[in-house]
Each structure stands twice: as structure tokens, then as C-alpha cells.
Amino acid sequence: MSGGLLFSCAQPDAAAEATLSDLMRERTNQLQEVKKAVEAGLQPEGELFAYEAFTHGTPSRPALGEPGVQGQLMAFESFYARFALDPSLKNYNTVIQTCMSCHERLCPGPLRLIRSLSIEAVEAPAFELYSRD
């Protein structure tokens, strides 16, 4: 159909945009690496703190694009930015708590996976080196 070509410039390039779930899965993988590093007594650093904001992800349904949900995603990113700036155990677990409280309401599927990211105690000083508490 030739009509499609005429309008192709105005179409958003869906393939170039990450979905909200993609970004959440990436951050989950990253947090698993942070947890591994901390448990091995290493300081999490560098690319473990490079991320794309959840507000840039394309949601799977329009309701998730509404201001109520986007505002919660923005609030989450401010907790996450604080953690990236000061990666203490306390800030890390605040992040995981915030993941869980949203998921309990909006998307319970990955709750077990998210809970498994919590760090109860660390014997190695990895987080304490950063903590300004």
C-alpha cells in the first residue's frame, strides 16, 4: 500500500524505543549484579550505575502512561538517583522496597524476583565504604 510511505516519516519508530518492561528487566539484571558484587565484598561501581529512566519506556497499555503512574515512576527514579549517588545498604533497600510497593499494586508477576534482590546483611564493608550515614 503506497499510502503508508507518505506517512512513514511521522510514525514513531517503535523498534527504536525500549518498552517499560525492557527497562525494568535491564535494571533488575543490574541490581542482581550490584547484589553479587556486594556479597562478594566488592564495591558496586561504574556501569552498574548507568541506566535509562523508566519514564522513557513505552508501556504495554495506555493506563500505564497516565500521570498517576508516570508520577510514581518519577518518584522511584529520585530514590534511585539517591542510591546511585550514595550506594549505601539503606538506600539500596529503599529502592527494592519501592519496586515492591508498586509491583504489589500494579504488576505482581515479578514480586518474588524483586524480593530476591533484597540484601538483609552484609559482612563485607562494600556498602559501608560509600555510606555517609
State the residues that interact with ligand HEC by CB under 6 A. Answer: 19-21, 24-25, 27-28, 31, 59-60, 64, 72-73, 76, 95, 98-99, 102-103, 106-107, 109-110, 114
Name the residue nearer to ligand HEC (CB basis): 43 or 70: 70
Contact 100/114 with Cβ under 8 angstroms? yes
Beta-bridge partner residues of 58: 19
- Is the CB of 6 or the CB of 16 nearer to ligand HEC? 16
At its nearest, how many Å lie between ligand HEC and the CB of residue 49?
13
Rounded least distance, CB 129 to ligand HEC, Å: 22
**SS3 track for the chain:** CCHHHHHHHHCCCHHHCCEHHHHHHHHHHHHHHHHHHHHCCCCCCHHHHCCCCHHHCECCCHHHHCHHHHHHHHHHHHHHHHHHHCCCHHHHHHHHHHHHHHHHHHCCCCHHHHHCCCCCCCCCCHHHHHCCC
Nearer to ligand HEC, 64 or 124 (CB): 64
Output the smallest distance, CB 80 to ligand HEC, in A.
7
Q: How far is the CB of 13 from ligand HEC (least distance, A)?
A: 18
Closest CB to ligand HEC among 84 and 122?
A: 84
